[in-house]
Structure 1
């Protein structure tokens, strides 16, 4: 189903997740990093707010295949549909109404965040192809118009992108970032932990808001979110793109990270423990649930 008229502007205009009509003010959001559709499904089932889909987490995460993205969209949509069905007709007034955020990593390789001209073309092309796929699957990825409700119903899946692009001088690559945001067709764009490698992190953070970025993944320039807590709290207080605390966040320290940094969103892996680097990083549903319960127990 395609949107026409005013409702479609919800997808065309870059907006922060919490500004969308299905956002939950004050809610502590949990984002799970995974490298397959199964991980997206389990994250949704365990109550996570978002899943970041990557390939090759051993290299820090790279762009997944278009087939993996489609499988993840359908897996998330199935889980959300089941959640809404269990609630029944009252789902619009319950947390079951909220979509699962699905963020797709756009990164052609591991390593640094300074990309060649060929890599830049590949990144823009990947965003365009995934945006086109979201249009094809608009029944699941776009708000659905309803005649009498006065506002569109939220989609099952809120698709967005994760990017990180720097110049050789460790500043934001504004030109490439603008191209990627334009290709995203209004979907939310998160700037990844490349932010932690900038020469002046607070200045770079301030720039990102003006460039249309909706959120940032950061440990405050430190090895872990807890070590960078002071910087993270400063970014949160500054106001701008949503600060998602990332960097050695685990289910067992979720509450401490939230309370220490002031961030209302966290990002973590919940891989099955004991896996080697070369093995697929399967998601442990029980660990996701542990992190979600800890985050949602934090008083607003």
Structure 2
């Protein structure tokens, strides 16, 4: 990947620099195990928000490990999540902002131009940059749902209904983080949270990669431990989870763990966030990957029942 040529193709880089807050908003530091679902359609987002998941990663073609959804799908997903959040806040009453349930729903959009290896050429890199830039612009256009709302006369801000973020990943031919491309993607995100996906598990050196990603402004790293050995995978995740850097999200599916195993996963690794697919049973690889509401519900209940370790 030629980062210099890519930067020349992205004139809006200077117009929309990444804005990293000095400290994360309160909803990124909840007191419970965070559950992020992996979904393929707007209905999966709606189910996740309605049942009580904290976030959903939205991608298409999950049987190919996911690709970027259309911008129309992203817009519809923002509306769907916002509707569920507004219903919840209405039930909470006029003082909903003073409760723990006031957090927005996290919608994370996968940015991946194709299935297959995570090494991208210049054309694919430009497509990824353009997708992030246009989706970030959509979030600004839909600021009624995606930006904190000012309370008239009070000088305070209410949490948004939806916190939109991005899920990205890119490697070099020798298995390192593609720093040039990732830096541009983070810059185009307009300050939205960025996750580096399971391309991380294919890095030549996960410790080196984790340090690189922290320096690039990445907020989260999704991993299943980069090993076929459950013991080695757990040890790797535990080491990163206690490090000073991006928040570690454990990909439970890659570890072979369902809702019933979340307590054991946290005990073994110390993670405070998990990522899980909740597909309807009996779906073939060529069929739409629908989300099973009851499985999401079980996962939410299991996540809330977990006792978390103290924060470092």
TM-score by length of 2: 0.88
Deviation at 1:207, TM superposition (A): 1.4
After superposition, the Cα gap between the structure-2 partners of 1:140 and 1:226, relative to the gap in structure 1 and judged at 3 Å, is: farther
Match of 1:36 in 2: 41
In structure 1, C-alpha distance between the alignment counterparts of 2:230 and 2:247, rounded to whole Å: 15
**1:158-197 matches, cutoff 5 A:** 158-197=163-202
The answer to whether the 8 A contact 2:263-2:307 is kept is no
Alpha-carbon displacement from aligned partner over 1:171-203 (angstroms, at most 9, x marks no partner): 010100011011111000000000110111011
Residue of structure 1 equivalent to 2:265:
257
- Is the aligned partner of 1:154 residue 2:162? no
Q: CA deviation at 1:237?
A: 1.3
Change (3 A) 1:260 1:65: same
1:69 to 66, 71, 74: 74
Structure 2 gap ranges (5+): 1-16
C-alpha distance in 2 between matches for 1:64 and 1:215: 20
CA contact (8 A) 2:74 2:109 kept: yes
Q: 2:279 aligns with which of 267, 271, 293?
A: 271
Which shifted more, 59-68 or 249-258?
A: 249-258
1:129 deviates by 0.8
2:7 is the alignment partner of 1:13: no
Counterpart-to-counterpart distance in 2, 1:161 and 1:249: 24
Deviation at 1:153, TM superposition (A): 0.7
2:18–2:186 CA contact under 8 A, matched in 1: no
Partner of 1:5: none
Is the 2:27–2:103 Cα contact (8 Å) retained in structure 1? yes
Please state if 1:286 is matched with 2:303: no
Q: Is residue 99 from structure 1 mapped to residue 104 from structure 2 by the alignment?
A: yes
Deviations 1:120-170 (A, max 9, x none): 010000001101111111100011112455531110000000001100010
Contact 1:15/1:188 (<8 A) preserved: no
Q: Once superposed, which parts of structure 1, at least 4 consecutive aligned residues long, lie more than 6 Å away?
A: none
Q: Report the Cα offset of residue 15 of structure 1.
A: 4.6
Deviation at 1:255, TM superposition (A): 1.8
Give the count of matched residue pairs: 289
Between stretches 141-150 and 218-227, larger displacement belongs to 218-227
**Normalised TM-score (structure 1):** 0.92
Partner SS for 1:238: coil
**d(CA) in 2 for partners of 1:15, 1:226:** 36
Instruction: Kindly indicate whether residue 140 of structure 2 is the aligned counterpart of residue 135 of structure 1.
Output: yes
> Which has the larger displacement, 241-250 or 127-136?
241-250
* Aligned residue number for residue 32 of structure 2: 27
CA contact (8 A) 1:32 1:270 kept: yes
CA–CA separation in structure 2 for the residues paired with 1:144 and 1:224? 47
- Offset of residue 225 of structure 1: 6.8
Q: In 2 relative to 1, CA 15–110 (structure 1 residues): closer, same or farther, beyond 3 Å?
A: farther
Partner of residue 208 from structure 1, selected from 209, 213, 219: 213
For structure 1, the 5+ residue unaligned runs are: 1-10
SS in structure 2 opposite 1:299? coil
**C-alpha contact (below 8 Å) 1:258/1:266 kept by paired residues:** no
Asked if 1 retains the 8 angstrom alpha-carbon contact of 2:262 and 2:306, the reply is no
